[in-house]
Amino acid sequence: MAKTKTKHTKQSGKKAVVKKEQVVWAPGMPFGKINYILMIVGIFVMGLGYYLLSGGGTDDPTAYSEAIFDTRRLYVGPIVLTIGIVIEFVAIMYRPAKKETEQEESTN
């Protein structure tokens, strides 16, 4: 969302004049330090989920293995993978609260 900054100036004996400045689309970096930390944690959790999903095969292609229906592969792996995806979503959408000084400057 674009923000338009306005600047109020007082001149001696005259009313305050409102000057519009340039539109600011994306000031600074889009993500903060906490966003990047959450992204790295989400990637590790998703990697763990994929690891839990792997395995269960046999060396002999004609043999049947019950290991593919293990609880780890059917329930734990997908749940951990889903948690990792949710962490990634939160990492992208998280926006820290503004500090009081920044809020005061934006209202003035």
**pLDDT tens per residue across span 75-104:** 999 999 999 999 999 999 998 787 665 555
CA distance 105 to 99: 10
Inform me whether the pLDDT recorded for 14 exceeds 90.
no
AA letter at 21: E
pLDDT at 6: 53
Comparing 28 with 86, the larger pLDDT belongs to 86
Inform me whether the pLDDT recorded for 2 exceeds 60.
no
Question: Between the ranges 23-27, 66-70, 96-100, where is the mean pLDDT highest?
Answer: 66-70
CA distance 6 to 27: 15
CA distance 57 to 70: 11
pLDDT at 22: 60
Inform me whether the pLDDT recorded for 37 exceeds 70.
yes
Residue % of the chain over a pLDDT of 70: 67
Cβ neighbours around 74 below 10 Å, total: 13
Residues 7-24 have a mean pLDDT of: 60
